[in-house]
């Protein structure tokens, strides 16, 4: 299993469980996470979902070895749901979604926070959106959700710089609601989840729907733009250099790319 599921007090805790890979999203983990979200959405005994990671990371984002395979192997077997299926499930998730960021959140491990209703973060955790380091475009409607959450200039730096953001910065910007000591993170997040879970599920769903419905069309439009850009850039000169550098264990050098690349 690449995801652990635990139920207590109407809270379903989903724990990403690829610690040896820093919980990077393989096709299998994308599928498992999607299936877990769909199941929780349909389960009338679940009021709140709490998402966290096992080990040193929340998630290191898309598994770069699989990304490289997607660009080089025409026969590479994609998962049933994949990245887009997981984002569909997050965008449509009707119940409160709480994220407990226990360690590094890289790429998708950061952008999925745009769909969280509450985010708790360990004081030692860090976030990074490495799109420009990978020579690709934003993902998961982050080009829309991040400016909404943290303001345009903060989002510009986060999405363009590929630099790390620490927990205090994330809280000050509004991406994270509470910062906790590492040993307290899950207890604090679960306590808040259980407070919400004691409320009527129908009311929780109604509150979330009325808050998120005005954003749905803009999220869908942002995803369409991002996906088009991502498709165009995946396997392009900058992305090939980034993945080659990763495979060879060296810094990427974008200065030798063709003009405009």
pLDDT in tens, 75-132: 777 779 999 999 999 999 999 999 999 999 999 999 999 999 999 999 999 999 999 9
Dihedral sign of CA atoms 87, 89, 93, 98 in order? negative
223 near 141, Cβ under 8 Å? yes
- pLDDT in the model for residue 71: 65
The neighbour count for residue 18, using CB atoms within 10 Å, is 23
CA-closest candidate to residue 241, choices 257, 225, 230: 257
Residue 195 confidence (pLDDT): 98
User: pTM score, two decimals?
Assistant: 0.94
Q: How many CA atoms lie within 13 A of 255 on its CB side?
A: 2
Report the alpha-carbon distance of residue 28 to residue 15 in Å, rounded: 14
Secondary structure in 3-state letters for 90-154? HHHCCCCEEEEECCEEECHHHHHHHHCCEEEEECCCEEECCHHHHCCCCCCCHHHHHHHHHCHHH
- Per the prediction, the chain carries an average pLDDT of 95
Confidence band, pLDDT 50/70/90 cuts, at residue 246: confident
Question: Tell me, what's the pLDDT at 261?
Answer: 84
Do residues 36 and 3 lie in contact, with contact meaning Cβ atoms separated by under 8 Å? yes
Asked whether the predicted pLDDT for residue 155 surpasses 70, the reply is: yes
The per-residue pLDDT for range 188-232, each reduced to its tens digit, is 999 999 999 999 999 999 999 999 999 999 999 999 999 999 999
| 169-183 average pLDDT score | 98
pLDDT band at 57 (very low <50, low <70, confident <90, very high): very high
């Amino acid at each position: 299993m690449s995801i652990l599921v635990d139920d207590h007090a109407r809270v379903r805790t989903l724990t990403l469980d690829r610690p040896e890979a820093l919980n990077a999203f393989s096709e299998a983990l994308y599928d498992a996470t999607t299936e877990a979200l769909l199941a929780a959405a349909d389960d009338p005994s679940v009021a709140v979902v709490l998402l966290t990671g096992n080990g040193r990371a929340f998630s290191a984002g898309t598994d770069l070895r699989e990304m490289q395979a997607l660009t080089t192997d025409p026969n590479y077997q994609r998962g049933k749901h994949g990245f887009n299926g997981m984002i569909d499930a997050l965008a449509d998730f009707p119940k409160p979604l709480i994220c407990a960021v226990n360690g590094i959140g890289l790429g998708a491990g950061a952008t999925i926070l745009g769909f969280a209703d509450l985010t708790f973060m360990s004081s030692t955790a860090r976030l990074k959106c490495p799109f420009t380091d990978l020579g690709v475009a934003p993902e998961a409607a982050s080009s829309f959700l991040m400016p909404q959450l943290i303001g345009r200039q903060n989002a510009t730096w986060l999405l363009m710089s590929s630099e790390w953001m620490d927990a205090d910065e994330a809280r000050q910007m509004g991406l994270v609601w509470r910062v906790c000591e590492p040993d307290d993170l899950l207890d604090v997040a679960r306590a808040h989840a259980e407070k919400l879970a004691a409320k009527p599920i129908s009311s929780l769903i109604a509150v979330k729907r009325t808050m998120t419905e005005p954003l749905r069309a803009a999220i869908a439009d942002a995803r369409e733009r991002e996906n088009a850009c991502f498709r165009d850039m995946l396997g392009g000169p900058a992305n090939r250099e980034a993945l080659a550098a990763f495979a060879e264990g060296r810094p990427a050098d974008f200065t030798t790319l063709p003009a405009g690349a």
